[in-house]
Structure 1
Amino acid sequence: MTNTIERDLTQKLEKNHLEASSTEKEAADIIKEQANEAFKNSDYGKAIELYTKAIQIHPDAILYSNRSFAYLRRGWYDYALIDAKKALEYDLNYIKAYYRRASAYMALGKYNSALCDYEYVIKACPNDKDATTKYEECKKAVTRIDFEKANAVDESTESAVNQIDLSSMTIEPDYDGPHLNVNGHVTKEFMSTLLPYLENQKILHKKYAYQIILQTLSLLKSLPTLVEITVPNKHKFTICGDIHGQYYDLLNIFKLNGLPSEENLYLFNGDFVDRGSFSIECVLTLFSFKLLYPNHFFLARGNHESMTMNQMYGFEGEVKAKYTAQMFQLFTEVFNYLPLAHCINKKILVIHGGLFSKDNVTLKDICAIDRVRQSPDEGLMGELLWSDPQPHNGRSKSKRGLGIQFGPDVTERFLKLNNLEYIVRSHEVKQQGYDMAHNKKCITVFSAPRYCDTMTNKGAFLTITGDDITPKFTSYAAVPHPAARPMTYAN
């Protein structure tokens, strides 16, 4: 009798559990469909939020894999990797999870790990053309890296400058574009012709492009890692964030806010290139303004001013398509000399990414960073270029796989130690183009609206004056551009 009662009770509990589980799955599926719709509309933040709710109700491989995909679209590669691995814990045979994990590994530069996952995918799905293409791309990357390691030599002997012979480059009679003056210098007249010329999808003559890049290299070599800027009273100073090859939106900034001049100062805070398909137009314009106004126009390095990022996200391919492979080598060298930080009126620190994994970092420490190299995976330079703020106190592992996440307490201690009012950084898409976090002491400005032609964000720039450092923001929508999709030149 007792055994019968226990058996009946067990069966009843199992039935109730199955019914509850079924109800939970139905609820999770409803939220998943909402998340899928948000993803289709390129609202990846909303999609992540909804996938998370569904996972909390009834986790499974599909939900983790879908959220991994949304993280990939946001550029949060470490989070994407974690979710892809989690999906495989729920279903070791779920092919899409291997694909997501491979994509995350690729974005993090872990090509050998990515290659193993892509091999698994194409064996399971031999007719999947996209997977086969990704596998071949990854295989090429592994081969290239192995070749570069095998043929590595002392960087000091490899300057691209020594390979360039300007005297052999002639200006053809039918060239109808802007000309540098007789001394090879950028002038206001040159800039007034250059901007509309590039806007009409024409290519600046190779000789002039090389001259601009070489002169910029020489100028950047004379600058410290942390540049001190003094903005006079009543003078406007504008800080712009990521441009990412969106040349027509760059022109719109100048239309809205005025062209750079000795009275209209600008700082562009890194990530001039990659993703957008007009990166060469952006960087040549910015370099030219730097040459024209060396003490009133400022450029900082972002995490995308690096060889690895440029090889993956389009700049290398674009330079090779519009100019030469040699020019890309030169750009890589120039990017190494871009300053990492700017301090305005001793009160505002402008850096691309964020703060550090340890306290007691001073402006003097930043100034002492050896910046003339590719961005390392750790240390002050890597954290400065890659880190992001988080809403809660303390520090956390980065969602990107590089740098850290830092809280309002970290910001407060850094500002107090260095006698600063606030920091300005970029590096992250924001819906209105800007964000004020950490009690308005950590400001993000992002200047690429409708990022990658898929996001719904606006762009923004920030303005202050020498006698009033209270930030004022201007948001703007994307403007039309020629029919060249983002990542056209990307590997």
Structure 2
Amino acid sequence: MADSSGPSATPEDVAKAEEHKNKANEYFKDKKYVEAVEFYTRAIDLNPSVASYYGNRSIAHLRTEAFGYALQDASKTLELDKNYIKGYYRRASAYMAMGKFKLALKDYELVKKVRSKDKDAIQKYEECNKIVKWMAFQKAIAVDTTYTSVADSINLDTIDVEDSYSGPKLDDDISAGFMKNMLQWFKDQKKLHKKYCYKIMLEAKKLFEATQTLCDIKIPDSNKFTVCGDIHGQFYDLLNIFELNGVPSQDNPYLFNGDFVDRGSFSFEVILVLFGYKVLYPQHFYMARGNHESINMNQMYGFEGETKAKYSSHMFELFTEIFNWLPLAHCINEKVLVMHGGLFSRDDVKLDEIRKIDRFRQPSDEGLMCELLWSDPQPMNGRSPSKRGVGIHFGPDVTEQFCSLNKLEFIIRSHEVKDNGYEVSHNGKCITVFSAPNYCDQMGNKGAFITLTNDLKPKFTTYEAVPHPNVRPMQYANPLFGLGF
């Protein structure tokens, strides 16, 4: 962040800053947000007193999911110019992305007062207010001992399957044949009957309830084991993984490391297929919770809207309940720890402490559970505040100490887009894998997955995005993220 307390910009600096700003605007419009941030920063370095530069960089940070940086920039615009209304918009959007809905509501309320006839301002205020009220209701029922689970309210025997339904049917246990038919059915953009959706979900819930917070996995000598990172609703890229690496089976086990849903507009198909394979192969198919398996993220980034559009709010509530039971980490052959986000703000965290985390809840914005889901590695030693505004950045020394303390060889995590779909950092002790190629149809990155055998030497397979039906990413996202420039 530039410091505005220095000497005034010269006329030459002012002119050059405008050039950088215009170049940044071009990058932004081309959806090249990293480059846009770079050129807004150049403009700020030359002329740090212009509120709009920070406002523009704020929204570019939002696009790259650097919510903490976006919040800093939005706040800076208002330090410079309290009448810069876009600054309140930007700050509210950053608060929303970080799940701080009450703070966002205050900013939207101010905008609505200033622009009392602005339909967009009114819509954003009302939408945010709805979420705040909904959260208050959820908090109330959480302490209501008479509240029963969503799963208990479902009676499959009372759900009829219409004669007109011609898709895959699930009258008995899930089979490999049923999964094959469901994959094709979804590929053809058809809906599975809600009765079978509920049946898969309820069976998956039972399995996750019986699963530990930290699961131990043993790779048999004769098998490979595949670890996939974020899928983010990119169903057709998930199908491509199965084409390249084989469908899950007892001889072809998988671990999907969180962020199955949101952003991509085929999240429902992705999560139901993964749940189906979990039910079919409970000892050979694993799923870990990501930061997007949470209410706040699902409300903003599309999974709630998609599930309601394709089925019902009741089904979304059941997904929320199941997500609370997802494991937070997996340990392979006692030597490799796999989690979605990363490591911790403390040096003394042992695996047994992870095992004892009470995971059946929505993640908070601090503590071990939060850091497992949100943290990211950094190249320099030590720790620093996260660009996301949640979790931490941790350096090579932190990874080295954690691995040494817990007798681990390395960690695998996901959570971040990488140009090649993966990245090996921290002297080989921290591996990032990201399995959603051309993320959100705009990042141009490859996807990747990791295969391990008993010797635990990772093999990386990379791939390009495949075509998908003409449904844009974020199709079902909250209108609060319909952010203009």
Report the TM-score range of the alignment, normalised by the length of the smaller protein.
over 0.9
CA contact (8 A) 2:99 2:297 kept: no
Alignment of 1:255-334 (within 5 A): 255-334=243-322
Match of 2:46 in 1: 57
Does the alignment pair 1:428 with 2:428?
no
CA contact (8 A) 1:43 1:456 kept: no
Match of 2:16 in 1: 27
Of the structure 1 ranges 458-467 and 96-105, higher mean CA displacement relative to structure 2 is found in 458-467
Instruction: Give the letter for the 1:403 counterpart.
Output: G
**Deviation string for 1:411-434 (max 9, x for gaps)?**
110011111111111111112211
Distance in 2 (CA, whole Å) between partners of 1:222 and 1:350 is: 19
Distance in 1 (CA, whole Å) between partners of 2:156 and 2:227 is: 34
Distance in 2 (CA, whole Å) between partners of 1:88 and 1:437 is: 38
Distance 1:144 1:465, change over 3 A: same
CA contact (8 A) 1:42 1:456 kept: no
**Deviation string for 1:100-153 (max 9, x for gaps)?**
111111222222322232233344445654333222211222232334445554
Distance in 2 (CA, whole Å) between partners of 1:457 and 1:155 is: 47
Instruction: Give the letter for the 1:293 counterpart.
Output: Y
Aligned residues: 471
Deviation at 1:234, TM superposition (A): 4.3
Match of 1:11 in 2: none
Match of 1:36 in 2: 25
Does the alignment pair 1:358 with 2:346?
yes
Match of 1:86 in 2: 76
* Structure 1 portions without partners, runs of 5+: 1-16
Alignment of 1:404-419 (within 5 A): 404-419=392-407
Distance in 2 (CA, whole Å) between partners of 1:393 and 1:347 is: 23
CA contact (8 A) 1:228 1:344 kept: yes
Secondary structure of residue in 2 paired with 1:273: coil
Aligned Cα RMSD in Å? 1.8
Does the alignment pair 1:486 with 2:473?
yes
Instruction: Give the letter for the 1:37 counterpart.
Output: E
Deviation at 1:440, TM superposition (A): 2.2
Distance 1:221 1:147, change over 3 A: closer
Instruction: Give the letter for the 2:131 counterpart.
Output: A
CA contact (8 A) 2:218 2:332 kept: yes
Does the alignment pair 1:110 with 2:100?
yes
Deviation at 1:200, TM superposition (A): 0.7
Instruction: Give the letter for the 2:33 counterpart.
Output: Y
Match of 1:14 in 2: none
Secondary structure of residue in 1 paired with 2:10: helix
Q: 2:131 is matched with which residue: 137, 141, 146? A: 141
Distance in 1 (CA, whole Å) between partners of 2:111 and 2:33 is: 25
Distance in 1 (CA, whole Å) between partners of 2:27 and 2:124 is: 26
Match of 1:193 in 2: 181
Alignment of 1:320-469 (within 5 A): 320-467=308-455, 469=456
Secondary structure of residue in 2 paired with 1:70: helix
TM-score w.r.t. structure 1 length? 0.92
**Deviation string for 1:300-355 (max 9, x for gaps)?**
11111112221222212222222222222211111111111111111111000000
Secondary structure of residue in 2 paired with 1:54: helix
CA contact (8 A) 2:141 2:147 kept: no
Distance in 1 (CA, whole Å) between partners of 2:259 and 2:376 is: 15
Distance in 2 (CA, whole Å) between partners of 1:165 and 1:261 is: 30
Distance in 2 (CA, whole Å) between partners of 1:236 and 1:311 is: 37
Of the structure 1 ranges 107-116 and 280-289, higher mean CA displacement relative to structure 2 is found in 107-116
**Deviation string for 1:272-310 (max 9, x for gaps)?**
111111111001100111111111111111111112221
Does the alignment pair 1:174 with 2:161?
no
Secondary structure of residue in 2 paired with 1:228: strand
Secondary structure of residue in 1 paired with 2:41: helix
CA contact (8 A) 1:354 1:387 kept: yes
Distance in 1 (CA, whole Å) between partners of 2:162 and 2:98 is: 44
